[in-house]
Amino acid sequence: MAAMIRPHILHFSPTLKPSLFFGKLPQSLSSFSSIPATLPRKISTTRRFCSNSDSVPQSSSSEVESSASIVGDLLDFLNESWTQFHATAEAKRKLIAAGFHLLNENEEWDLKPGGRYFFTRNMSCLVAFAVGEKYSIGNGFHVIAAHTDSPCLKLKPKSASSKSSYLMVNVQTYGAGLWHTWFDRDLSVAGRVILRSNSDTYLHKLVKVKRPLLRIPTLAIHLDRTVNQDGFKPNLETHLLPLLSMKHEENSSDIKEKSTVSKAAHHPLLMEVLSDELNCHVDDIMSVELNVCDTQPSCLGGGNNEFIFSGRLDNLASSYCALRALIDSCESPGDLTSEHGIRMVALFDNEEVGSGSVQGAGAPTMFQAMKRIVSGLTDSYVGEGSFERTIRQSFLVSADMAHGVHPNFMEKHEELHRPQLQKGLVIKHNANQRYATSGITSFLFKEVGKLHNLPTQEFVVRNDMGCGSTIGPILASGVGIRTVDCGIAQLSMHSIREICGKEDIDIAYKHFKAFYQTFSSIDKKIAVDY
């Protein structure tokens, strides 16, 4: 078990704006002063892991994470990534800092062996890849795919509502959340807006209101005496509206000009809060797409600080481990020298609602990119079926969080398949193809772990329970790419606050990095269709 780390206070800089422009990359997109411009190779002794202390205790050298740990950087990533848009923006920042070249899907790509590239779609989906210097047409892609979205509340297109002298915000549920956990939390909003600029053009900008802005109060037990016996069963349409403010009568000096969108759709007060955060006029806000978010920071917890307490672990933990593994597997000049394949990360949006969107795994984004890459790297005639041969040589790791066994509900797990926290990646199996794992793909992925002394676990759902799914089967069936479904074990999945093991983060990162570095050699040792 890693040495204990004491919690430190999170310091928000009052001079940094939470909004982000994407035409020009800012010097820093982070609101935490502890995040450097480039990826650190070890955890700082002043890493801020929590926000519930009034002072910053000093850490001794024995309390510092090992140089291989990425846990502190994951916490920073989680604290920045309130929405799928912010997660993609953070990934973009890290890739650029690591020397990856930003591509545009609307333009021609100039690709070369040894190059590192990425593109975004909708600023909520991202594909990054590094081309081996020994790549030749027909060689495979080694891909880790995850998703950037999490169950949450989203503002309706017309969110302004009022009840009994309160200003309320109309929301819609996104995904299969544990909605009772959203009550009595300090909430705010984050997302993206479209702004009108001075030149009468439009800008895409991100916004995050860090202070508690909203709250969904529960009904007092005195008015619902049987709630503990009958259960808390809120109506998701009428009981889930957050409070924004008390109504007040505006006098003539309080009234400002309001845009048509604010009058028709959203409370003027909310629009003023957004305009203050964005440092713009209310009239310049043309459109908003906002999530309701919990303001409590991600942090370490448990008696030995062995847990991570956070929202959105499903699936930003997998996304970050995959992204960091790709970056670190090709950070040195010689890392791609002997690579025959192409290393890739694909982060999709909308997995929590079925992936059926232009930025979801159901769209052909990743496979279109693969075709363009193969075509762009072709400098002469290579024969029939170059892309098809490439797919047959490729391998996909679908990384999504897994169900750790709950100590109070152990009967919910099949007795021989009870994944534990801190025991390594969980390989998911389902005979009905809710997961895409096969005997071959499971074997190959476990061989990667064995080669580097990394533990793995197995999960199978009980026969008398339904099984969830993820992007693995969607991508596997899209063009027939070999796929294994795996994930980090966690508790409280789809709650507003989730929990996973700290050591599992580093194990997942090391397993993913080892996959990029060694899969080509392992794959050559087995032949199936010959």
Predicted structure pTM score: 0.86
Q: Is there a single domain that holds both residue 472 and residue 343?
A: yes
Question: Domain limits at 487?
Answer: 70-150+311-378+385-524
For residue 386, which phi and psi values (nearest 5 degrees)? -65, -45
CATH number, residue 373 = 3.40.630.10
pLDDT tops 60 at residue 13: no
pLDDT at 38 > cutoff 50: no
Asked whether residue 188 is assigned to any structural domain, the reply reads yes
In a domain, 63, yes or no: no
Looking at the 3D structure of the chain, how many domains does it have?
2
CATH of the domain at 170: 2.30.250.10
Task: Give pLDDT, residue 251.
Answer: 52
Q: Are residues 79 and 200 in the same domain?
A: no
What tokens were used for 128? Answer: 């990054």
Please provide the average confidence, as pLDDT, over all residues in the chain: 87
Q: How far apart (Å, rounded) are the C-alpha atoms in residues 28 and 7?
A: 24
Higher pLDDT, 251 or 33: 251
> Count H helices, E strands: the chain?
11, 21
> Above 70 in pLDDT, residue 276?
yes
Do 356 and 503 lie in one domain? The reply is yes
Can you tell me the mean pLDDT for 220-240? 95
Give the pLDDT confidence score for residue 32 in this predicted structure.
34
pLDDT band at 381 (very low <50, low <70, confident <90, very high): low
Whether residue 259 contacts residue 282, with contact meaning beta carbons closer than 8 Å, is answered with: yes
Q: Tell me how far apart the alpha carbons of residues 210 and 311 are, in angstroms, rounded to a whole number.
A: 15
Report which of residues 160 and 49 the model is more confident about. Answer: 160
Q: Is the pLDDT of residue 244 over 80?
A: yes
Residues 327 and 448 in one domain: yes
260 pLDDT above the threshold of 50? no
Do both 356 and 450 map to the same domain?
Answer: yes
Instruction: Say whether both 196 and 339 belong to one domain.
Output: no
- Residue 69, pLDDT > 50, answer yes
Q: DSSP states of 51-75 as a string? A: S--SS-PPPPGGGSPPTT--HHHHH
Is the predicted pLDDT of residue 45 greater than 90, yes or no? no
**357 and 315 in one domain?**
yes
Question: Would 179 be classed as within a structural domain?
Answer: yes
| CA 528 – CA 437 distance, rounded (Å) | 16
396 pLDDT exceeds 60? Answer: yes
Instruction: Please name which of 196, 287, 209 lies closest in space to residue 242, comparing C-alpha atoms.
Output: 209
Query: Is 20 among the domain residues?
Result: no
Q: What CA–CA distances, in Å, run from 326 to 36, 54, 96, 128, 144?
A: 19, 37, 13, 8, 9
**Is there a domain that residue 469 lies in?**
yes
pLDDT at 410 over 70: yes
3-state class (DSSP) for residue 338: coil
Which range among 19-23, 56-60, 200-204, 472-476 has the greatest average pLDDT? 472-476
Residue 28 lies in a domain: no
Q: Who contacts 277 (Cβ-Cβ below 8 Å, separation ≥6)?
A: 17, 18, 19, 207, 208, 209
Cis bond upstream, residue 305 (ω within 30): no
Q: Which residue has the tokens 């002394």?
A: 453
404 located within any domain: yes
pLDDT digits (tens, 9 = 90+) for 420-475: 999 999 999 999 999 999 999 999 999 999 999 999 999 999 999 989 899 999 99
User: Is 252's pLDDT higher than 80?
Assistant: no
How large is the average pLDDT for residues 32-56?
38
Please check whether residues 239 and 326 belong to one and the same domain.
no
> Does the pLDDT of residue 15 top 50, yes or no?
no
Q: Are residues 354 and 371 both part of a single domain?
A: yes
Each residue's pLDDT tens digit, 123-157? 999 999 999 999 999 999 999 999 999 999 999 99
Q: Between 515 and 251, whose confidence is greater?
A: 515
Across 272-299, average pLDDT: 96
| 161-193 tens-digit pLDDT | 999 999 999 999 999 999 999 999 999 999 999
317 plus 428 within the same structural domain: yes
Angstrom distance (rounded) from CA 169 to CA 159: 5
Task: Identify the residue whose tokens are 């790791």.
Answer: 397
Provide the pLDDT for residue 333.
85
- Tell me: do 146 and 169 sit in the same domain: no
Predicted confidence (pLDDT) per residue in 309-358, tens digit: 999 999 999 999 999 999 999 999 899 999 999 999 999 999 999 999 99
Task: Note whether residue 40 is domain-resident.
Answer: no
Tell whether 132 and 174 lie within a shared domain. Answer: no
